[in-house]
Structure 1
């Protein structure tokens, strides 16, 4: 089976090659022997919102078979590279001085901030309510994932974004109603960083809700009139730099359009959380292959080579 790219498909060439390099295990169909390779299937499914029926002719398999292969490759990538998704500690520790210098050169008053922490909200389709009490006719299901701040049903993830444009840590999913602090505490990332002597003296920057300790630093709290001129200046500088978080989130959905259509993301029938974890991994790989992204250009901090990233 020859892989032929049309003009519309050329933009997905790197992602397709990357899947072929990462997902080397055969699909779980012991009764079907084939010489064809479907490692690019998740790329085609996640890059654009498409129905399985629309991919049958292209891949030459039934929609049910393609779905099985897709799920297998998701499981494979998520399990194989779980350490890279959860926290790529070795690369981060090796580049702490480079990261902190890049943040300082971008205008930060701090010389020891090496990354930024925040939660991201990904919209999903409204779940069908489930009746749990016939007499009171009480409905449960959709309330738990409704995010009142964004006013939509969603899943939440916690991230650490470094100046080289990589999402070095992804934790979740959590129901949309949960607060960022709950994810931060249950991820136990502060303890992991605190126990690693390589991170001693360096800080993560987060919003006011995260507080201040030996791991994390946040803006000064209070009304502008109650802050000193120096404190106001520090808050303004860090707020401007911290916008790089949003660039990283936007990059994910720009590559993987299927995850930007919440009406097609159905909790209970799709592994939405696992899909997002895998596309974060793939986005990091694309950043390494292309030598950077918007965030890394802003900080003038190139990412590591793809082989260094995958082998760390």
Structure 2
């Protein structure tokens, strides 16, 4: 039986194709010839897909993708389909431009890209929330030492937590929906996500989306991050200073989450706040890295709730950003600042592909 979502995707793409004059469609069909990735140089692949063909092969293999996928009436090899998704995300491209490059109709390009979005997201949906391998005891010791060595006053901080807001097109579902998505501080309609960044430059936890009007502390509570943090960071029982996250003043202090001192009057408190602010900026750098490599997620006019999937686009773009840093070809500013090497591609993806563990629920996955 044909999957309903697959039918809707193909049906929508078919409607788009029908708006093109018949003589143009005939001319395009006559010259379609699928792109052969093996004929492209590494430089060309990096320009088009942000990865070399060898790196794409490593990624698709580590993700456990099948060799060939069939979507509606088209059959695509895993490397080509994944490359199409990367090309779609790297810049706000028109389907017609991608059609010329990949030798497929606009409708087939749309079907393949949406299909691979679902396939990849299904493989990493649990590890995307909390990549357990990034929080192994040996990693936590390494992270804490690196942050402390850069001048942090607190010796037990291993990660930085923050929220990011991504603009979307104004929802068309009515005033109530528009009001929920509207952020009065930034004066835009948006979706919010919660980041946890480790000092090796990897966004090790990404949760969302939440409507733009929500506060960061509300998102922290609703995402059940506190329970995960206590489980994976407090690895030594009854220790005086357990490992902890560090966030901005929006977060309430708890056993495993610290934030700046408020209303400080003592010089010591001021020095602690200043030293922690200096290292916490790393989480902001990672927000910029997503936009640097995958600009499609920032093109708000294409991010339409109910029509596209803004959350899937942004979350996968963040994962692909991590993968770029894991190749070693482009080190993240966070990794360079703290002097820590990120995991290899295979190590990072194996953490993403973890199974569901006790206490996690399908309802926690919002995208």
Q: TM-score, length-normalised on structure 2?
A: 0.77
Find out whether 1:90 has 2:127 as its counterpart. Answer: no
Say if 2:177 is the partner of 1:141: yes
Q: Is the 8 A contact 1:125 1:153 kept in 2?
A: yes
Deviation string 1:40-88 (CA, Å, 9 cap, x unpaired) is 1111100011111221121121111111111111111111012331111
Q: Any conservation in 2 of the 1:16–1:43 contact (CA below 8 Å)?
A: no
Q: CA deviation at 1:14?
A: 4.7
Structure 2 segments unaligned to the other structure (5+ residues): 1-34, 352-367
Please state how far the C-alpha of 1:144 moved relative to its aligned partner.
1.1
Out of 64, 72, 75, the position equivalent to 2:115 is 72
Q: What's 1:288 paired with?
A: 326
Range moving further from structure 2, 99-108 or 198-207: 198-207
Q: Distance in 1 between matches of 2:102 and 2:181?
A: 35
Question: 1:204: Cα distance to partner?
Answer: 0.5
Distance 1:216 1:164, change over 3 A: same
2:15 is matched with none
- Which residue, 296, 304, 315 being the options, matches 1:277? 315
Per the alignment, residue 210 of structure 1 pairs with: 251
Q: Is the 8 A contact 1:27 1:72 kept in 2?
A: no
Instruction: Supply the distance in 2 between the matched residues of 1:209 and 1:198 (Cα, whole angstroms).
Output: 26
Matched, 1:260 2:298: yes
Aligned partner of 2:235 in structure 1 is 198
Post-superposition Cα deviations, 1:88-130, rounded to whole Å, max 9, x if no partner, equal 1222224000000011011101110000111000111112252
Please give the alpha-carbon distance, in whole angstroms, between the structure 2 residues aligned to 1:168 and 1:199: 21
Shift in alpha-carbon separation, 1:12–1:111, aligned structure 2, 3 A: farther
CA contact (8 A) 1:85 1:280 kept: no
* Number of positions where the alignment pairs a residue of Structure 1 with one of Structure 2: 301
Does residue 38 (structure 1) correspond to residue 72 (structure 2)? The answer is: no
- Contact 2:74–2:108 at 8 Å: present in 1 too? no
Change (3 A) 1:10 1:229: same
Q: Take 1:110 and 1:34, find their aligned partners in 2: how far apart are those partners?
A: 51
Counterpart CA distance in 2 for 1:34 and 1:221 is: 56
State the shift of 1:289 in Å: 0.7
User: After the TM superposition, which residues 99-138 of structure 1 pair with which residues of structure 2 at under 5 Å, given as runs?
Assistant: 99-130=143-174
C-alpha distance in 1 between matches for 2:75 and 2:342: 40
Q: Check if 1:238 corresponds to 2:276.
A: yes
Answer yes or no: is the 8 Å Cα contact 2:81–2:116 preserved in 1.
no
Cα deviation for residue 30 of structure 1 reads: 5.4
- Are 1:177 and 2:213 counterparts? yes
Which piece of structure 1 moves more, 72-81 or 139-148? 139-148
Change (3 A) 1:242 1:103: same
- 1:14-53 Cα shifts (integer Å, max 9, x gaps): 5363444326333332544566932211111000111112
TM-score by length of structure 1 reads 0.89
How many Å separate the matches in 2 of 1:311 and 1:281?
Answer: 13
**Contact 2:50/2:324 (<8 A) preserved:** yes
Q: In the TM superposition, what is the alpha-carbon distance from 1:5 to its structure 2 partner?
A: 4.2
